[in-house]
Every structure is written in C-alpha cells, then in structure tokens.
A and B are shown apart, each in its own frame.
Chain A
Amino acid sequence: MKPKNPLKLDGAQPLSEKALEALNHLDPSRRDFLKTAGIMMIGIGVGAATAGTAEAQSPLNPSGNIDNTQLDSWVAIGADESITVFAGKCELGTGMKTMQIQIAAEELSVPVERITMVLCRTGVTPNQGLTVGSLSAPTQFGNNGLRVAVDTARDALYQLASLWLGVSVDQLVLNDGVFSASGDPAATVSYGELVQGRRFNLPVNRSAVPNNPSTWKVLGKSVPRVDVPPKVKGTYQYVQKVRVPGMLYGKVVRPPGLGAKVQSIDKGVVNGLPGNPQVVQVNDFVGVVADTEWHAMKAAAALVNGITWSSGDTFPNQADLYTFMQQQPSRNALSVNTGDVDQVMATAAKVMTAQYRYPYQMHGSLAASAAVVDVRGATGDKATVKAWSCTQGVYNMRTTLANLLRIPAANIEVVFVEGSGCYGHNGGDPVTQDAALLSQAVGKPVRVLYSRADEMIAGEHYGLPMVCNEKVGLDASGTIIAWDYENIEAQRGGGAVGTPGNNIPGYLAGFPTTQIVPSATPPNNPTNFNNGNNTVPPYVSGSVNGVSFYTGTIASHRVLNRVVAGPLWTAWLRSPSRLQNTFAHEGIMDEIAASLNADPVEYRLRYLSDPRLINVVKAVAQKANWETRPSPKRASPFSRSGTGRGFSCYLHQTNNGYCAMAAEVLVDESTGEITVTKVITAIDAGPVISPDGLNNQVEGQVIQGISRTLYEEVLFDRASSRITTKDWRSYVTLQFGGVIPEIVSILVDSRNAPVAGSGEITITLVPSAIGNAIYDATGVRMRQVPFTPEAFLAAKKEQKG
C-alpha cells in the first residue's frame, strides 16, 4: 500500500559521539531514537548536508554549524512517535521553552507532552542569534523562525499520509499525530509510521501557512510551563549546579578600582593553603583555582593581599555624572528629521523644555553568575572547548571564546544552561570568559561562581545612563507643532558580539574594547524608519522621506541620538534605551498637558493616530475609572491627600506591541516616601500565546519597574574609582514586606495581527507612569530616577520652595 516516497526521505546515519554527548540531557528513549534514527543535526553530518556551501568549506569553521534552511535542522520524528524540535531561543525564566513547545504542538496537532524541545546548543540547534529585545516570539512566529519549519513538516506529513492512505489531502483527518481518511476511520497512519525515523531532506518553506489562529487548541491557552515543576521541587539544574567530572572551582580577583592594573603579584601567598590553589594571571585578569568552592574562596581572599594595583580610571563625581556625559564628544545619529524643526519651532507661541535623567542600574540577578568551561589542549587547532553557559547567544559566545582562547570555533561547543533571570546582559557572558581563561590555564574543567560583589562590581555590565533633552513647540491654541529630542547615553563595552574585550574579563586579559568614535560630521538623515530604541515619541508621525511610519500626528520632528564613552561597563538591561527615552517622552507630554490644564489622557489622544494604541489607552482609562481633569489634583475633602494617578502609553520599538498604563501612588510629602498602590495596564502584543504566561510577565515587569523607579542606582566613588553598590544592602531594591501594588492587567488578544514581544513592553512605561502620578498627587515633577525620598524632597524644595 505504501507508495514510492516522494519526499526524498533519507536513510539513517549514525550520530557522532560528540553529538550524543550534547544530547545527554534527553531521556533515554529520545537519546536512543536519535542514535538509531541518525538525525543529522550535528557537526560532520551537517557538513555533509551542506557540502558545497561557503560556510561548510570555510577553513575557520568547517563544521559545528546548523543549516537553518533545512527542515531536518528543526524537526525530527522518530519511529517511536517521538517528536524532537530544535530551536534557538533560550529559556531565561520567561516561559520561552514552553512557548516554543506550544508552537510545535499546535502546528503538528499533538499534545504538548509529545514534544521534546532542545534549545540553544552550538552544533545542535539552529543559530537564531541572541535571545534578546522582545524579539523571540516575533522571530519564532515569523518567516525565519520555528513555526514555518514546523508547518513545513506538517505539510510534508500531510502529503505522505495522502499517498499512504490513497486519499487526497483534504480528505485527511489529523488527530494527535495520527491521520485517518474521512469516511474510513479504520485506515490510519501515524507520524512515526510515515517518517520511520528518517530525514525529511526538505528545505524549510518560508511561506508555509500556519494553522488558522481561530482553530488554536494549544496556542492561546495557559499551558503550564514545563520547567516549573522541577524548579519548585529543587531538582532543576541551573548553570550554577553543572558538575563535570574532575571539575575545579575558580574565583576571580578583580582590580579594587575600575581600570587598575597589576603592578606586582606574589603568587606565593596561596602556598600552603588547602585545596592545591593555583593562581592564574593573564595581564590584569587574575584568578585562582582550587579543589572546592570554599578553598577557592579562601585562596582568592589571600591573593587579594598579594597583588599591588595601580590607581584606577578617573571617574566623574557621582553628582556630576550627567554633566560629564553632556560634555563628552559623541557619536551621533538621527532617528528622524523632517528638516523643518528649527523653522517651525521659531514660530511657536510657547516652547516647553525639560531634561530627564536616568542612572546606571544593575540587572541585579538573584543568582551570582556562573559558568563551567572545559578547555583541553591549551590553544590552537588541536585544542577543544566545551562550555556550559547561561549566555543569551550560544553561537555568539562560541565566537567570543574562539577569539579569547585562540581556538577554532569549530572545536568549541557552547551549551546553554539556564541561570537565574538575567533581564539582559548580566554576568553570564563575562563569567563564561572567566571560566574559559582559568580552564585554559589549568587544563581542567573549571566552574566559576561569582561572589555577590564580583557580580555587582566587576561581573555584570550595567544598564546605561541617559540624559534626555526634550524641546516641544506649541502654537497659541496649545497644539504641539514641533518636537525636537536629543538623548545622550554613556556606553562602555557591550553585549555578546564575539569581541572578548567588550566584556570585563576579556578587557582585563588584554583584548581591545570597541571604542566609541565621535562623529566628525553632522549625521545624515535616516533613509528608513527604525525606532528600535524608542527614541521617537509616540505622538509624532515618524516621517521618513515624506512617509509616516509611527503612531502620532505631529508632522515636524527631529530625534538625535548621541552616544558617549562612559566610565562604567554597560550592556543591555531590560528595555535598553527604550525605557529611558519613554520616561522622558511620557514625562514631557504630561508636563505639556498640565501646562495647558488639559487632562493627560485626552491630551495624548489628540495626537495619536494608531487605532491599536488608542484602543489600549482607552481600555486602561476605562478600567482605571480615569477621572477627566488636569494634573495636579486639587485638594478636596473627598480625596485622600497625597494620592494621585499618572498615565503613560507607547508602541514598543518600531512595531512590537502596544501598551498603556495608569499608576496610582501615595506620597508622604513630609518624608518623601512614595508608595505605588495600584497599576492598571493594557497590552496588545498581537495574539495572546499564553494568557497566564503573559500576565506573569506583566506583573513581574510592573513590580520590577517599581523597584527600578523608586530605588535602584549604581553608586561609585571618584576618589577610589570604586563601585560602592556591592550587595543587596547598598544596592537597594524592592523587598518583600514593602507594599506590593494591586495589578490589573488587560490582555488584548489580536488574533490576526503579527505576534509581538512582551518581555519588556510593560516595564518601559513604569517610571513615567509613576512620575506622572507623583506630579498629580503633589505638583512635584520627578525628572531623575530613582525617586528616593531624598530625591523627592529635593525636587519639592527646588520646584515649590
């Protein structure tokens, strides 16, 4: 009955031992399947599959890459009916693994339990870049992502079933991975029978049509996350718990002041200490390795006294940071420029200006970062590396390690293992470099676990500070006619782009850091609209070459982004730049409305043109029982003194989800203490993939946003070039026992819109919503984060005397 295979299903091919080892987390049945079925995911197999391509022949990396264009790189169906899916967006604690399982289960019409999801291993999973920027969901649902790959498999299975059962595709009924012919329910064939553990050998069809969202059974449902039970049971293996036979324990000894150099080192200070400590020095990178964590800690503590360091970099005073930033030469770029801003601004009846400032902040991951790296053979073409890392990009990390260790990328395997929530580029990438340097020096696998101070002082890269200069022109009727915005952000180093010196350990080991080259000429006008950093406010039309791309109506606008070299190491932190820019835009908008005695929501709506943004604004206003009136609130016997409400809204990035928020606060004007009592927020990020998962994201972002708005700031000392926020006492965050606000979240389920991101969208609005609420309550405008009691009292004194 079975016809000739029309789909070129290939015969089995054994996996390499290396590949099997890489899959060692899979349960035995899956492992055996992969072994016998010979899925070709790995190394040499792929080299053969892609022979003739430039990549396959590259002497730099002849193997270890996965061909994203091939279906077999994404989906493997075993004769035992197992379905293994390989994807490249990692689980950072947001439910991304479960979301990817949902995609596969939905499109293949099987229960989620049928899917084994393998994520983020070089040489095993497709290279999907970094798991960052609220881009994972849009990517996996887009035409380069997981869904079209799974849909390609689904379509192939339909064709095979049609031939097998001798009926046309539209006569097939699919249920739980078993096809039957309509009218003859006894005639069935399963996925496993159709594929028989062989390869599809088909290209991914980028135009494969997804299942109609109106028929969703798995997507759109609150599927419990697969990682939650082992996490609460305690058995889950975070990267901090990876144990490798023969593994040693490493600690780093960082310069006391940022930028200090080793002048002399007495490695003998660890002699005689227990655990056979070995000191490793590579230029200004210093570490120690011993047989246990505690011995390594003791040796590191001793080693501190054996090193003489030079003095460190010259910092500005903390209080002068924002002035310092404005004085530095900058690298300039325009996001939009309609060319008429100066001219229109000159005709304005009133010009509103304000400067908003945002500090260095930490990711402040709960875990100190850790990594395990096993470098064998020191360096060169014969050396090999295996790294277990919580990096957001395994392939990027492979490039970084290749450059750091001078070992070909093809010899390096990077396995993603989850750490604690990172919220961006925390210490996960740097600590992987640290472990790699130590392992290379001692020739054994080394786990490095940062201390809390290591993580906070010289492990993680901070979220960047920003100075935001707003200038908005109004005509005599109070209508905005021109918007001129400039931001200045300070950077040093950056995220995982393969350059060791852009992270702290590589820099210490002597690798160059990418420098910020100030612009020598005025920036060119943009040729396309890109609002990835939300530099462009939501109230302008976002016009490029006369075409409007954004959510507002204000025609005359200019947005200039200036990047300067800053003193502290930076990289992306949840909603990088977007949060800072939005704090300024939504603050000045509130200031303008207040200056005109206009209601902040009504005034915003005057300029909004995008119906989906308008929709979330109205949804929040309604849910919040928003009282139409200007801010600040007038004293009234009917309302509690010190209470107020603030509004904020935007479209995330260029086109990555809509959000609106109302925050309610209680301000004690005598002490300056600010309490957020309630937050009402609406999100429209396209179809809701998991209502409960999305709510969890919204709730977490609201509370994390409150922490960042009210408390968090990296502090440093000019005299010693030291970071002084080094633990959870000095780096203040929101704690249990403080007031957790009531959170009301409205999820707009736009089933037919493209899938957008939701990992950063809500937090972006929190500082401005709170700042605007404080103004409503008190008439005091908070233009600099964090809104500490001292900062409030100072602003009050300055503004009200």
Chain B
Amino acid sequence: MATYGLQVNGQNVSVTIDDADTPLLYVLEQNFHINGARFGCGLGQCGACTVLLDGRPIRSCITPVSEAEGHSVTSLEGLRAHDKLPDPSDLHPIQEAFAKLQALQCGYCVAGPIMQGYAFVRDNANPTRAEIEQALKGVMCRCCAHTRMIDAIQTYAQEKTR
C-alpha cells in the first residue's frame, strides 16, 4: 500500500492504493467520482480520458496514479477554476464555445478536443484552422463533429485574444 498526494480540480487529496500502476483515470472515477474524464479505449488512442497534469494534457487511462503524485490534475469540471475564473461551476470559455456552436453530438469524447484545444490555444495565439486540426491529432470523435470542434476552438481563440 502506498499513499499518493495530489491535487484534483484544486483540492488537495490523497489516495491509498495497493498498486502504483493503477491508471489515474480509475482513481479519478472511483475515488473522486470525476465524470469529465471518460474511458474510451484504455490505450491512449482516443483522448476521451484527457485531463491536465500541471496544465499539460495527458491521457489518464495510461498514466499511473503514481505519476500524478505531487501534481495538479484538472478534469473538464475543474477547467474554469484552473484558470482562476469566478463562479467555478459555470462553463469555461472554451466550453462555452463548444456549447454555443453545439460542437458535439453524444459528447462522450469532448475531454479530448476541449483539453487539447485549450492547451494548444494557450500556447499558440491566433492559430489557423489547419493548425488546430493538426493539434487535435490523437483525439477522436466518432459522431464526427470535427468541423464544429475546430470552429469552436477557433472561436475560443479569437475571443481570448480580443
């Protein structure tokens, strides 16, 4: 048994677990009832489980919980608080852009495009559509809302620089 301390959506928490290899996703899901990181493939191929680890998007389904020790983990629920915006239960501006453009169908995948898009826009001001499309490589959407997702990320990027 080992105890790991981490920050989940701004809260300091600890988890005691018998296997350091346990993927972070299962700890988030079972111990902290996080709904925003979702199991899609368990192989790091689809992006549905994406969370931010110290602000960097990672695949929580293939990241051992031990690697999160001492780090901050942000899921979709905590994105607004991560940017220290007021009213943390409201939507983050990138989530607002997705909602405004109805940039999803079933929505199961959106942690991938939102988290990946968020980090990309943070690090790259005024991205082109083609750049956004490339940045989303490695995340999947099987309802195929690709066009709207790219539009939503671009809308967010434009509003951010305004």
Contacts and interface: CB of A to CB of B under 8 A. Distances in A.
A743 B142 contact: no
Contact of A704 (B18, B36, B111, B144): B144
A234 B75 contact: yes
A274 B109 CA distance: 31
A364 B150 contact: no
Nearest to B105: A93
Contact of B35 (A93, A238, A298, A696): A238
B144 to A, nearest CB: 4
Nearest to B109: A366
A568 interface: no
Interface stretch (A176-184, A190-198, A418-426): A418-426
Nearest to B113: A736
A31 interface: no
B139 A227 contact: no
A576 to B, nearest CB: 17
A94 B107 CA distance: 10
Nearest to B146: A740
Given A92-B106, A233-B91, A419-B108, A728 B22 contact: no
Contacts of A697: 105
A420 B142 contact: yes
B105 to A, nearest CB: 4
Residue of A227, A418, A736 ringed by the most chain B CB atoms within 10 A: A736
Interface residues of B, number: 57
Contact of B23 (A294, A693, A701): A294
B106 A228 contact: no
Nearest to A94: B105
A368 B106 contact: no
Contacts of B22: 292, 294
Contacts of A704: 142-144
Nearest to A274: B18
Contact of A227 (B107, B136, B145): B107
Contacts of A743: 147
Contact of B105 (A692, A700, A727): A700
A295 to B, nearest CB: 8
B104 interface: yes
B110 interface: yes
B102 to A, nearest CB: 6
B41 A727 contact: yes
Nearest to A362: B142
B105 A736 contact: no
A729 interface: yes
Interface string A725-750: 00111000111110010010000000
A224 B140 contact: no
Contacts of A740: 133, 146-147, 150
Interface string A365-407: 1111010000000000000000000000000000000000000
Given A225-B102, A367-B39, A736 B108 contact: no
Nearest to B37: A234
Contacts of A225: 102
Contact of A365 (B43, B139, B142): B142
A729 B150 contact: no
A420 B29 contact: no
Contact of A233 (B37, B77, B105, B133): B77
B76 interface: yes
B102 A692 contact: yes
Interface string A196-240: 000000000000000000000000000011011101111111101
A69 B147 CA distance: 43
Contacts of B145: 696, 699-700
Interface in A700-716: 700-704, 707
B41 A452 contact: yes
30 contacts: A93-B104, A95-B105, A228-B104, A233-B89, A234-B37, A234-B76, A234-B79, A238-B35, A238-B38, A238-B108, A240-B39, A274-B18, A293-B26, A366-B40, A366-B108, A366-B141, A366-B143, A368-B41, A421-B106, A452-B40, A696-B102, A703-B146, A704-B142, A704-B143, A727-B41, A727-B45, A728-B140, A733-B142, A734-B144, A740-B133
Please name the 6 residue pairs, one residue from A and one from B, whose CB atoms are nearest each other, closest first.
A234-B36, A93-B106, A234-B76, A231-B107, A420-B108, A703-B144
Given A697-B105, A740-B146, 13 more contacts: A94-B105, A228-B107, A229-B99, A233-B77, A237-B35, A367-B39, A420-B142, A451-B42, A700-B105, A701-B144, A727-B45, A736-B139, A740-B150
